[in-house]
């Protein structure tokens, strides 16, 4: 009996077939081949499964979506790739090169919660770690490492209570960056940014450079109808000109990062338990009041220490005026040094003036704020929950140093407002996370992902010796740990240098003199190439170097050689020219000048003697006899030097 029924036969088990078809209709299409098989099966009566295959646990209809080696997301990615590569006219000869592109699309807006991600999908993810698409990570980095001047009329109660709550980018008036540790250059002109602007991806550009970059067109006529945007030249994120924000590089009370042995200024900070605002203890009572969320920029120490502050129209107008001055200065420099036109500088100036006019329309509520502030409550000296020492931007004391000061002063509120200790060691690279917040609760005002450093100081001049004696073991253990770490790092550095030197020596053993000189001058290419054989560079000879159809005069080039047997000029250089026998003879032409032999023939013996006497030269016979007579009759006198005629001739022939 045939296992495949004909189109006219009836199914053997109607109930099983019905259940099987229902399972197929309810389950999602597993892959492209299955959908193709279903479309083909519609032309014929559906086959009856044997032994109730649809009810078995190993059957594919009984598996959960996404289970197995190929998940639903993998199949959807393959289908999307097939549709992208498929041509309507021809479906053959298509080759996928998407693996050569370091780019991944953002996740498609589908509901993936019902299917766990397969192992093969997580090997090449299109979102999250390793995908190259991290808009949330970039926004988190900006939120954690920069400070912001925000709209004066916004509501920021959640940001004031939770450091991880992000600020709406539309409420940001200005981004404040550190002039000491966050100074950067424009990625377009590679110079210090003039009128700097930050995109949502976190990269900072000059405003004229950004406007010129935005004006570039790909030739699309419909592009002008949409908002102007371009891909960031660094990270290729979408950059809109309307989304950029002004940047101010501000140092304030921040100093360069200290080194071991330097003195550092530490200020005592105060913070309420339910607030993310931490300010110096001196003057903090007027700002740290209940019911306040974000302070104004003009309050005491707010511009130097607060992470979020309210701005005013006057403040933004002042910042815009400073940017206009910088643009005018840059315009003069470009005109004098590079002879460039000021087209984009003027456009940037007009854009800043327009932004200044919009900033003037802000509600000036800051003028009435100082008068209403003292009515809320009495100053709250001593009611702050956390006290800690800090040096801008994010330098904090280590736990051992805090315990030493706690032993000396008794209470955190009794700490002096300023300390000047000497730095022994700086522990850098600490990232704020939940575990660090649990260990050091006074760091709860810092957002997750913020980079901080801990200072280990020498308290010999500040703390009494008897107090330091109680912590001598811990201090000595810390110093020993630092010494061992420095020794280990130095050992690893020397070992790395030895390994590199050994690799260079091994490479030189396989190199010839030419390759070694090239490696010393230009470095190694990292490609294993065979050594150069100098026998491959033989001098040109007369045989084997002429073209198939030799031309007259070509053989003369093959005679050029470095061997000493070649014909040379009077200067010792190889003579470029054909041998005398190869030069065709030319008929003698009378040019009107007498030859040397003809001149001697025309002169008589008497005329020749007269000319020789005029030169002070005697004939051969007289010269020899006269010289002998002078030598014999001279006695002890000075012997007269014999004069000779030197005939010189340039024997080199000019090549024809």
Domain boundary among 370, 394, 414: 370
> Does residue 118 surpass a pLDDT of 50?
no
Confidence of residue 131 (pLDDT cuts 50, 70, 90): very low
As a whole number of angstroms, the distance between CA 392 and CA 52 comes to 73
User: Has residue 463 been placed in a domain?
Assistant: no
**Any residues with CB less than 8 A from the CB of 22 and at least 6 apart, and which?**
none
CATH at 183: 3.30.40.10
Does the model's pTM come out above 0.95? no
> Does residue 586 surpass a pLDDT of 70?
no
Nearest alpha-carbon partner for 76 in 108, 114, 37: 108
Residue 473, by phi and psi: left (phi above 0), alpha (psi -120 to 50) or beta?
alpha
User: Has residue 29 been placed in a domain?
Assistant: yes
The reply to whether 32 and 150 lie within a common domain is no
Nearest alpha-carbon partner for 454 in 409, 395, 406: 395
As a whole number of angstroms, the distance between CA 218 and CA 210 comes to 16
The reply to whether 246 and 342 lie within a common domain is yes
Task: Give the structural domain span for 32.
Answer: 14-46+54-62
User: Which residue stretches of 86-239 are H helix?
Assistant: 119-123, 135-145, 157-161, 207-215
Who has greater pLDDT, 635 or 143? Answer: 143
Who has greater pLDDT, 490 or 588? Answer: 490
Quick one: pLDDT at residue 17? 42
Confidence of residue 510 (pLDDT cuts 50, 70, 90): confident
The reply to whether 319 and 179 lie within a common domain is yes
User: Has residue 270 been placed in a domain?
Assistant: no
User: Has residue 338 been placed in a domain?
Assistant: yes
Confidence of residue 103 (pLDDT cuts 50, 70, 90): very low
Quick one: pLDDT at residue 95? 57
User: Has residue 582 been placed in a domain?
Assistant: no
> Does residue 81 surpass a pLDDT of 90?
no
Confidence of residue 92 (pLDDT cuts 50, 70, 90): low
Quick one: pLDDT at residue 601? 67
Which of the residue ranges 234-248, 332-346, 420-434, 481-495 would you say has the lowest mean pLDDT? 332-346
Who has greater pLDDT, 394 or 616? Answer: 394
Locate the DSSP E strands across 293-420. 308-310, 386-391, 395-397, 418-419
* 595-654 confidence digits (pLDDT tens): 666 666 666 666 777 777 766 655 554 544 444 444 444 444 555 555 555 555 555 444
Quick one: pLDDT at residue 23? 40
Nearest alpha-carbon partner for 272 in 413, 384, 158, 438: 384
* 411-465 confidence digits (pLDDT tens): 888 899 999 999 999 998 899 999 999 999 999 999 999 999 999 999 998 999 9
The reply to whether 176 and 307 lie within a common domain is yes
* 528-570 confidence digits (pLDDT tens): 556 666 666 666 554 545 555 555 554 544 444 444 556 777 7
Who has greater pLDDT, 47 or 76? Answer: 76
Quick one: pLDDT at residue 2? 44
Who has greater pLDDT, 632 or 256? Answer: 256
How deeply is 152 buried, as exposed, middle or buried, from its count of CB atoms within 10 A (0-12, 13-18, 19+)? buried
Contact 267, 391 (CB under 8 A): yes
Confidence of residue 467 (pLDDT cuts 50, 70, 90): very high
Confidence of residue 379 (pLDDT cuts 50, 70, 90): very low
Domain boundary among 370, 397, 416: 370
Contact 288, 279 (CB under 8 A): yes
The reply to whether 58 and 147 lie within a common domain is no
Quick one: pLDDT at residue 111? 42
Determine the longest span between alpha carbons in the chain, in angstroms: 154
Confidence of residue 362 (pLDDT cuts 50, 70, 90): confident
User: Has residue 442 been placed in a domain?
Assistant: no
As a whole number of angstroms, the distance between CA 614 and CA 606 comes to 12
Who has greater pLDDT, 109 or 424? Answer: 424
The reply to whether 323 and 211 lie within a common domain is yes
> Does residue 9 surpass a pLDDT of 50?
no
Quick one: pLDDT at residue 146? 93
Phi, psi for residue 102 in degrees, rounded to 5 = -85, 60
The reply to whether 149 and 39 lie within a common domain is no
Beta bridge partners, 426, equal 455
As a whole number of angstroms, the distance between CA 22 and CA 45 comes to 15
The reply to whether 23 and 159 lie within a common domain is no
The reply to whether 58 and 164 lie within a common domain is no
Contact 539, 562 (CB under 8 A): yes
Phi, psi for residue 354 in degrees, rounded to 5 = -65, -40
Quick one: pLDDT at residue 327? 92
Distances (CA, A) of 573 to 157, 222, 487, 598: 91, 70, 64, 34
Contact 96, 80 (CB under 8 A): no
Contact 187, 205 (CB under 8 A): yes
As a whole number of angstroms, the distance between CA 239 and CA 203 comes to 10
Which of the residue ranges 64-73, 233-242, 387-396, 477-486 would you say has the lowest mean pLDDT? 64-73
> Does residue 490 surpass a pLDDT of 60?
yes
Highest mean pLDDT among 79-83, 380-384, 432-436, 650-654: 432-436
The reply to whether 208 and 306 lie within a common domain is yes
* 187-245 confidence digits (pLDDT tens): 999 999 999 999 999 999 999 999 999 887 655 545 555 667 888 988 888 889 889 99
The reply to whether 188 and 310 lie within a common domain is yes
Secondary structure (DSSP) of 111-128:
--TTSPPPHHHHHS-SSS
User: Has residue 542 been placed in a domain?
Assistant: no
How deeply is 496 buried, as exposed, middle or buried, from its count of CB atoms within 10 A (0-12, 13-18, 19+)? exposed
Quick one: pLDDT at residue 529? 58
Quick one: pLDDT at residue 389? 93
The reply to whether 206 and 309 lie within a common domain is yes
Mean pLDDT (the chain, rounded):
72
As a whole number of angstroms, the distance between CA 52 and CA 49 comes to 6
Q: How are strands ordered across the β-sheet holding 196-198?
A: 204-206, 196-198, 245-250, 172-178, 147-150, 308-310
Cis peptide leading into residue 393 (ω within 30°)? yes
Q: State the total domains in the chain.
A: 2
Domain boundary among 341, 370, 399: 370
User: Has residue 316 been placed in a domain?
Assistant: yes
């Amino acid at each position: 009996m045939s296992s495949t029924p004909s189109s006219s036969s009836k199914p053997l088990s109607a109930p099983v077939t019905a259940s099987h078809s229902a399972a197929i209709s309810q389950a999602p299409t597993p892959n492209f081949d299955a959908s193709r098989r279903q479309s083909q099966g519609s032309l014929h009566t559906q086959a009856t499964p044997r032994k109730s295959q649809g009810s078995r646990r190993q059957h594919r209809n009984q598996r959960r979506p996404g289970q197995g080696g190929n998940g639903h997301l993998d199949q959807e990615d393959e289908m999307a790739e097939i549709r992208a590569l498929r041509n309507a006219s021809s479906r053959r000869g298509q080759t996928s090169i998407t693996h050569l592109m370091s780019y991944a699309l953002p996740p498609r807006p589908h509901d993936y919660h019902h299917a766990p991600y397969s192992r093969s999908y997580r090997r090449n993810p299109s979102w999250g770690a390793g995908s190259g698409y991290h808009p949330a990570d970039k926004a988190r980095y900006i939120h954690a490492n920069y400070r912001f001047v925000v709209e004066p009329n916004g509501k920021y109660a959640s940001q004031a209570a939770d450091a991880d709550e992000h600020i709406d980018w539309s409420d940001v008036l200005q981004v404040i960056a550190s002039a000491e540790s966050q100074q950067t250059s424009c990625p377009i002109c590679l110079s210090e940014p003039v009128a700097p602007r930050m995109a949502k991806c976190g990269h900072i550009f000059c405003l004229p450079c950004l406007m010129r970059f935005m004006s570039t067109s790909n030739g699309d006529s419909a592009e002008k109808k949409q908002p102007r945007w371009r891909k960031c030249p660094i990270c290729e994120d979408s950059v809109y000109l309307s989304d950029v924000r002004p940047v101010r590089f501000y140092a304030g009370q921040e100093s360069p990062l200290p080194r071991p042995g330097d003195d550092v200024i530490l200020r005592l900070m105060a913070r309420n338990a339910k607030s993310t605002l931490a300010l110096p203890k001196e003057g903090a009572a007027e700002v740290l009041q209940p019911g306040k969320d974000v302070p104004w920029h003009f309050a005491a120490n707010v511009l130097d220490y607060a992470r979020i502050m309210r701005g005013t129209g006057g403040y933004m107008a002042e910042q815009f005026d400073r940017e206009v001055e910088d643009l005018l200065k840059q315009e003069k420099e470009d005109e004098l040094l590079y002879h460039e036109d000021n087209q984009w500088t003027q456009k940037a100036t007009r854009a800043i003036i327009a932004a200044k006019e919009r900033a003037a329309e802000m509600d000036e509520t800051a003028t009435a704020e100082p008068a209403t502030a003292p009515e809320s409550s009495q100053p709250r000296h001593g009611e702050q929950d956390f006290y800690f020492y800090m040096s801008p931007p994010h330098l904090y004391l280590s736990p051992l140093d805090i315990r030493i000061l706690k032993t000396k002063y008794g209470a955190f509120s009794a700490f002096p407002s300023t300390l000047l200790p000497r730095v022994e060691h700086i522990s850098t690279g600490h990232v704020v996370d939940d575990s660090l917040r649990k260990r050091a609760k006074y760091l709860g005002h810092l957002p997750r992902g913020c980079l901080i450093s801990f200072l280990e100081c020498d308290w010999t001049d500040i703390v009494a010796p008897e107090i330091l004696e109680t912590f001598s073991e811990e201090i000595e253990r810390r110093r020993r740990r630092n010494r061992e770490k420095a020794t280990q790092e130095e050992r690893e550095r020397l070992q790395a240098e030895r390994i590199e030197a050994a690799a260079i020596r091994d490479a030189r053993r396989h190199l010839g003199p030419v390759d070694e000189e090239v490696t010393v001058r230009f470095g190694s290419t990292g490609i294993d190439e065979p050594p150069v054989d100098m026998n491959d560079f033989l001098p040109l000879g007369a045989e084997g170097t002429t073209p198939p159809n030799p031309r007259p005069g070509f053989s003369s080039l093959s005679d050029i050689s470095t061997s000493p047997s070649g014909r040379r000029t009077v200067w010792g250089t190889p003579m470029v020219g054909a041998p005398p026998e190869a030069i065709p003879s030319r008929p003698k032409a009378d040019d009107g000048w007498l030859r040397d032999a003809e001149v001697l023939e025309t002169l008589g013996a008497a005329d020749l003697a007269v000319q020789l006497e005029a030169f002070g030269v005697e004939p051969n016979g007289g010269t020899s006899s006269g010289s002998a007579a002078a030598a014999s009759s001279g006695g002890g006198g000075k012997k007269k030097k014999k004069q000779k005629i030197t005939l010189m001739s340039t024997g080199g022939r000019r090549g024809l």
